[in-house]
Amino acid sequence: MSNLQAEALDAADPLRPVRERFDLSPDLIYLDGNSLGPLPIGVSQAVQTTLDQDWQSGLVRSWNQADWIDLPERVGEQIAPLLGAAAGQVICCDSTSVNLFKVLAAAVHLIDGPATVLTETGNFPSDLYIADGLRQLMGSDRLTIRSVPGEQLFEALDRSVSILMLTHVNFRNGALHDLRAFTQRAASLGILTIWDLSHSTGIIDLELDDAGVDFAVGCGYKYLCGGPGAPGYVYVAHRHQKSARQPLSGWMGHAEPFAFSPEFTSAQGMKQFLTGTPAILSMVALSAALKIFDGIDLQAVRHKSRQLGDFWVSCMNEAHLPVRLASPSDASDRGAQVCYHHSEAYAVIQALADMQVLGDFRAPDVMRFGFHPLFTSFTDLAHAASRLTEVIQLESFKAERYQARKAVT
């Protein structure tokens, strides 16, 4: 029944032809695009051209001739439509964590007196580390971090809070916060908002400008498919760009970097959020990868994302496996991943990989399955559910080779 349903859903899928924009093995079912997106067609050639023409032949001249110097702004403008952001508010640079440090520090300096950051207890750990590291640098008399469980966040938003720092889609269970509702509630209380959009950019029709978001960060290597270690991005609303100042005053954030002045004068606009020399090869790859979104309606992407999640839940329910749903049951409350608890989650995921289905594991016991609507088919999910059922029912995951933990889980 699942196979017949999958075939019917695939036949009616308007995004089905987009899979051809990816260099994916036809034998592999890839359900980990929420961790690392696959290689889009055209990225290899773009990087090779940069190597052969710009670096090998142009050498240092390519900063001008190939316009390397403006790549952070150009790639930022490619990302902006995926965020619902007007021009001049997004720049590509550094990592998500570094960029979070920048915007959090900038937000704190916009607050008169002591600042209190409200965040979620289950937020992505790196975000919590960055926030606490900044607290240690500034001192607890200047910055306080308060975290509460996700279900208590909205109620905890009151005038004692200065900054709301949230990840839009929870990395461990896929739970989705209502970005608009939280942002508007925060704004009504004079609270600044910072959103980490790493697990939602490219698969949810974000509307940052319209919602009134103040700051946002995200990565380029998940749904944007920019490759391992792809640079992140920063969004700063126009209204804050004249008054916000980020603390990492590197030379690329200088108003005149090649004047080599011993004193720092900040650039205007989004250039002030640059720090060091941009990673050209990575940005070229990300820029080429972003072409997968050409002509794509993000509302259609979000619609298929919900369909994929519901279909996967249906397949799992039909299989009657000894697993427990970790994600919200309502598709409108999920991002593009569905997660399950299993006592041997790590080993199950390893055994499943040997059956050409790649999901991933998050400690302590979560099996995470991510569905990128631009390349995941319903038939993929039907076959993956069948193979997962086989792994669990036959207990093949108990083999010794699946039990040993690797460095990256």
- Average pLDDT score over residue span 309-317: 97
* 159 and 201 share one domain: yes
What pLDDT score was predicted for residue 230?
Answer: 98
Asked if residue 409 belongs to a domain, the reply is no
What is d(CA 1, CA 313) in angstroms, rounded to the nearest whole number? 14
Burial-class residue 207 by CB neighbours within 10 Å (0-12, 13-18, 19+).
middle
CATH code at 336? 3.90.1150.10
pLDDT digits over 201-228, tens only?
A: 999 999 999 999 999 999 999 999 999 9
Output the six-digit token pair for 114: 């002591």
Domain edge (last residue) among 242, 277, 293 = 293
- Average pLDDT score over residue span 288-300: 98
What pLDDT score was predicted for residue 1?
Answer: 65
For the chain, the 3-state helix, strand and coil shares in percent, each to the nearest 5, are 45, 15, 40
Asked if residue 20 belongs to a domain, the reply is yes
Residue 24 has pLDDT above 90, yes or no: yes
Asked if residue 135 belongs to a domain, the reply is yes
Q: Which residues are catalytic?
A: 124, 196, 221-222, 368
Asked if residue 364 belongs to a domain, the reply is yes
Let me know: does 163 contact 189? Beta carbons within 8 Å: no
* 75 and 49 share one domain: yes
| Residue (of 218, 164, 153, 219) closest to 194 by Cα position | 164
What is d(CA 283, CA 79) in angstroms, rounded to the nearest whole number? 12
* 229 and 345 share one domain: no
* 285 and 142 share one domain: yes
* Mean pLDDT (the chain, rounded): 97
Asked if residue 37 belongs to a domain, the reply is no
* 302 and 358 share one domain: yes
Contacts (Cβ under 8 Å, ≥6 apart) of 98: 232, 248, 275
Domain edge (last residue) among 293, 313, 329 = 293
* 73 and 20 share one domain: no
* 301 and 273 share one domain: no
pLDDT digits over 138-182, tens only?
A: 999 999 999 999 999 999 999 999 999 999 999 999 999 999 999
* 399 and 303 share one domain: yes
* 257 and 162 share one domain: yes
Asked if residue 225 belongs to a domain, the reply is yes
What is d(CA 145, CA 170) in angstroms, rounded to the nearest whole number? 19
Domain edge (last residue) among 229, 263, 293 = 293
Instruction: Look at the block and give the residue holding tokens 């969004």.
Output: 235
Asked if residue 184 belongs to a domain, the reply is yes
What pLDDT score was predicted for residue 409?
Answer: 87
Q: What is the percent of the chain with per-residue pLDDT over 90, rounded to a whole number? A: 99
* 154 and 21 share one domain: no
What range defines the domain where residue 338 resides?
Answer: 2-30+297-403
CATH code at 100? 3.40.640.10
Asked if residue 351 belongs to a domain, the reply is yes
- Average pLDDT score over residue span 15-34: 97
The count of domains in the chain is: 2
| Residue (of 8, 78, 2, 38) closest to 358 by Cα position | 38
What is d(CA 116, CA 186) in angstroms, rounded to the nearest whole number? 13
Residue 108 has pLDDT above 70, yes or no: yes
For the CA atoms of the chain, what is the radius of gyration? Answer: 22
* 83 and 123 share one domain: yes
> What single-letter amino acid sits at 129?
Y
Output the six-digit token pair for 46: 């773009």
* 342 and 261 share one domain: no
